[in-house]
Each structure stands twice: as C-alpha cells, then as structure tokens.
Amino acid sequence: MSSNDEHRDFASSPSPGRSAESSSSGGSEERSNDDSESSPFSDVVDGDSDSSSDTDSESYYDSSATPPIAIAAIDSLMDALRELKKNDGYIDYGFPWSPDSKKLEGLEATKEDIAKVKSTLTLVERVIPSLRKILRSAEGARPKLRESLVSLSAQRSFHLLPNEVLAIIFEFSVHDNPNMSTQLSRVSRRFRDISLRLPDLWTTLTSHKLLDDSRSRYFCSGQRPLTVSICAHQGQLVAQERAFSLFNFAMSASWRLRSLDLNIRLKTDGAFFMRFLAQYPILIFPALESLSFACTAIADDECVMMIVNAKPFLNWVLPSLRKIRMQNFIPTFAPVVHSQITSYSLTYGDSSIRGVYWILENALRFAASLPQLSDFEVHMLQAYFHPLPPDFKVILPKLSKLTIESDVHDINYLAFLASAIHAPSCKTFSLNLVISQDEQHQLWVMAALNNCRQRLPNVEEFDLVVRKRQIFRKVLVNLVLGEFPRLRSLGFDGIDFDYTSTNAFFPPLRNVRLKNVKNIDHTFFFDFIENSRGPFDSLENLESVAFENCKDVELDEIQELISKERVTWLE
C-alpha cells in the first residue's frame, strides 16, 4: 500500500465510531431487483446501530459468495506484522519473506505505512479471535453472518483501529476474491466509506454479475487498470447474454483493460463463439498486459479445430501484451505480438473432457516461436497425447523459469519430459507430478530427469512435488543432485527420501525446503554442511533449512550440525 496514492484520502474519512454520508457515482444508489447482485452501496448498516437490525433478510448475501474476510489473508497479515515488529531490517523492502508470502505480493508498503501498522499491532491481534470465530461459523445462515459482521464493526477492539489499518485488512480480504469488496461495503457506513476510497478494490468486472453491478464497480475504480472476466456457456442463454453485454461495455473502456479472461464452455458447437467474435473484426487493447483464454467442456477434436482455424486473436492489436494463459487452445497472434510475449501458461484437459488426444508438438512449437519467452508453464490434467516425432526438441534460449504440472501417466508425456525442452538459461525448474505405485512408472519419471544436465545445465532452484501425499514415493535424491551441478535451492514435497553419500557430486546448496517428506537421515545433511562451507570454513553461505509435516526426521542430530536459527520446523 503506497502512501503516495492520492485516492486514499483518509484525512476526510469519518473518525472511528462516527458515520458519514457518502455519495456514489453512476446512479449506484439504485438497487437491482436481484438482491444477490445489488449495488455495493445499498443496504448499509451504521456500525453504531443495533446489530440485529434487518437481519432477517435471507437474500442479503449471495448464497454462493465466499465469506467476506479470508482467514488465510488475515493469517498472512499477522505473520507480516509480527515479522515487521521483530525485524526493522526488512522495512525498506515492504513486507518480509514468509511461508505465506505469495499472498502478500500484491501489496506494497512505505516506511510510513508500516510504522502505522506496527503501532496498532496490539489492536489488530485483539480482533483476530473474533474474526476466526465469525468465519468458522460462516457456513450457517447468511443473516447470522451479517449480524456477526455488523457486531464486529462496532466492537471496541475493531472500532479503535484507524482507517489506514482497516484499509490494509480490506486489501488482504479481497486479494483472493474481488467480490468481497461488495460484502465489506455493506457491513457499516464506516466500512463503506473506507472501501470507496480504495479504487483498487473495485477493478474486477465479471459476467457472473449483472451489468449494473459491473457499471457500479467501474465508476468506483477511478482510473485504475481493469480486470475483466467473461464466462460464456453453450446452451445457457442468460450467461451468453451477460457475456456479450459485459464485453461490449468493456470495449467502451478498452484503453483501461489490463487483464482479460475469456472462458468459453463448448460442447459440440462453437457457433455462438463465432458470433461473439464477429462483432469486432479488429480489436485494440492498448494497455492489455495479460490475456487468458479457455475452451472447456469440449466433446471432440472438431470443435477445437473450428476455434483454432478461426484464429480469433490474429487481428487484435495488443502493443502491451506480455503474459498469456491458454487452456486447450493454441493461439495465433500477429508477428509483432509474438515478439513481445514473455510469459506463457498452457493447460491441456479438464475434468469434463474425455477421449480427446492432444498434439503436444503444436504447443511446443508455439512456445519456440516466442523469442522473448522467459516463463513457461505446462499443466496437464487428465489428458492423452499423440506421440512426439523422433528426436523432437525445442530450444528456448531466454527461458529462465520452467514449471511442469501433470496428472498424466501417459508414456508419450513422459517422453516429452525427458527430451523435448532445452533451455540453456533456465534458473528455476518446478516439477509437480502424480506418480503411480507402479514401479515401472516411477523408473520412467526418474529417467525423465536423467539428461537434465544437458537440457537444463544452469538450474539453480529445483522443486519436486509428488502428489497423493498419503503414499510416499521413493525418489533417488542422488540422481537429482547429480543432474543439477549449479543447484543453490532444493525443495522436495511428498517423497520418501532415498539418499546415499555422494559428497563429490553434491552441489553447493544454500536453501533446503522439505515438506511431507519421510525418512530423512542426517547423512544428507552431513554432505549438505560439508559443501555449504564458505571462506575460512564458515557457514555464512548457508541461509535456511525448512521442514513441514515431515516424518521420521532425526531433528536433534540435524540441529547439532546446523544452528537452530537457520532451521524452521512447521507441523
């Protein structure tokens, strides 16, 4: 949260305990006939009023909505606050690194912001138990949840928090679910006034809501970049009409679009999607940085090919596009767009698709056509593949991060793992797999890592996740270490440790992260320590060792080798 955000005019905000009238733009005081999608500024209850007022309206909250404040977000906030209170050294960098840091990525803080938060940490800690209690009872009737929230807003511990701190909590609350901003604004007038002074809370428009709701959010978002999410289902006319309406509305503000997410659920016919595209033969999005397109619920290959052959994005003008996410679809862009894309995420398959065989070769050739590609993700979900041509490979010269996630047991996919991608500049490699109990299948996976030394010679950070964690899989740790001679950071999740001393081939690790790992002995850490020594036989290069939910760990012996300050143990 940057202090130079001119929109956050808290000097004019009402003081805690007093309500203030707030005007809204664009006719947002009018309430929609659909209570679940009413204006975010209607049905506001004063925080000082009786908490039981108007609690019998069962339609006040959308029954499908997520509880207004996420426990995970509050926990992340508290972790950050406690670290800041203990360690001022991180203050120049905003919130410090923590196990839940990914939830903090969207928030920036200046020294002044952090100082205000630290000064009110005690007050925040008093609120947390109340929040937990309310959220855990959120599965009950929605009127009771509303009553609890209104009561919470009037509690003295919460009531005394300054607006700046509430603003931080609100931003965390909507981080995972943008629609929470509407729920928060209905709790009390004070909550509404604070949320209206945070335009970033209103920048997501979705076709799941009525167009009036999207218009209200648009007018509350100031001049902030917009994220538009459109979902159209074949056979569902209401969903289709909402998708068309929102897309037309978004086109009137195309210069503000930062992210566009299109999800088209097809069964046997893509004609309605062709109608969707026919409205705008040429589209111009000057500020669009991220484009997501998903074709799901597909019944056969012909439906996919019809969309592919239509080349829906060929005539789009996208001068700022950098990141694309595609599901079951290989796009075609203008050559100038190909030359500027740096991040590509590909997903094949979904839970509703059966019997479709994908041509993985096409996807890899598309990735090779992106000369600036630095981040490549491949997600394979219950999919089958045609075999790759013999000796097929793609070279990605500027790739720095490679992520592969798979539920696939197909030998053709494992062949892709073993030989297809060559990235001489790759620094980070993440592998997330489901490995069956079949010993042959496990050997195939290990064989896929055999020639990483040639294909990915400069990897410094490697993470291997084996899912179905109730069954621990043996992983030859020696093999992994031998294939990545420049490794600095190593993470294992869901494996059965299998290691014998190979000190001569041990890379100079700086960080080790072990989660859901079984049978870790101190032999590995003897070699780890021996190869982490820096000048004058010190361990100053060693940064951290983290255990989470690990079994059969000889922790006492490990702590004798490594100072306790560098060891983190999480149950």
pLDDT digits (tens, 9 = 90+) for 535-548: 555 566 777 888 88
Q: What is the DSSP string of 304-371?
A: HHHHHHH-TTTTEE-TT--EEEEES------HHHHTT--EEEEEE--TT--SPEE-HHHHHHHHHT-T
- Please state, in angstroms and rounded to a whole number, the distance separating the CA atoms of residues 221 and 228: 13
Q: What is the pLDDT of residue 319?
A: 93
Q: Which of 51-60, 217-226, 507-516 has the lowest mean pLDDT?
A: 51-60
Q: What is the pLDDT of residue 471?
A: 53
> Which has the higher per-residue pLDDT, 94 or 163?
163
* Cβ–Cβ < 8 Å for 358, 348: yes
Res. 330 pLDDT band, cuts 50 70 90:
confident
The answer to whether residue 504 scores a pLDDT higher than 70 is no
Q: What is the pLDDT of residue 46?
A: 39
Q: What is the pLDDT of residue 176?
A: 59
The answer to whether residue 305 scores a pLDDT higher than 70 is no
Query: Mean pLDDT over residues 392-410, rounded?
Result: 86
% residues pLDDT > 90 (the chain): 12
- Please state, in angstroms and rounded to a whole number, the distance separating the CA atoms of residues 145 and 261: 31
Res. 459 pLDDT band, cuts 50 70 90:
very high
Tell me the pLDDT tens digit for each residue of 369-394: 999 999 999 888 766 777 778 788 89
- Please state, in angstroms and rounded to a whole number, the distance separating the CA atoms of residues 459 and 491: 13
> Which has the higher per-residue pLDDT, 120 or 532?
532
SS3 12: helix
Helices (H), 137-178: 142-154, 156-159, 163-173
Q: What is the pLDDT of residue 22?
A: 37
Q: Would 95 be classed as within a structural domain? A: yes
- Please state, in angstroms and rounded to a whole number, the distance separating the CA atoms of residues 397 and 375: 11
Q: How many CB atoms lie within 10 A of CB 392?
A: 15
Q: Would 149 be classed as within a structural domain? A: yes
Q: Would 88 be classed as within a structural domain? A: yes
Q: Which of 154-163, 251-260, 400-409 has the lowest mean pLDDT?
A: 154-163
Tell me the pLDDT tens digit for each residue of 338-362: 999 999 999 887 655 555 667 788 8
% residues pLDDT > 70 (the chain): 53
Q: Would 131 be classed as within a structural domain? A: yes
* Cβ–Cβ < 8 Å for 424, 397: yes
Res. 473 pLDDT band, cuts 50 70 90:
low
Q: Would 284 be classed as within a structural domain? A: no
- Please state, in angstroms and rounded to a whole number, the distance separating the CA atoms of residues 144 and 148: 6
Q: What is the pLDDT of residue 342?
A: 96
Q: Would 130 be classed as within a structural domain? A: yes
Q: How many CB atoms lie within 10 A of CB 385?
A: 21
Work out how many domains the chain is built from and give that number.
1
Q: What is the pLDDT of residue 395?
A: 92
The answer to whether residue 518 scores a pLDDT higher than 60 is yes
Q: Which domain holds residue 143?
A: 28-198
The answer to whether residue 28 scores a pLDDT higher than 60 is no
Res. 420 pLDDT band, cuts 50 70 90:
confident
> Which has the higher per-residue pLDDT, 543 or 28?
543
Q: Would 406 be classed as within a structural domain? A: no
Res. 173 pLDDT band, cuts 50 70 90:
low
Tell me the pLDDT tens digit for each residue of 123-160: 555 655 655 555 454 444 444 544 555 555 555 555 66
The answer to whether residue 85 scores a pLDDT higher than 60 is no
Q: Would 132 be classed as within a structural domain? A: yes
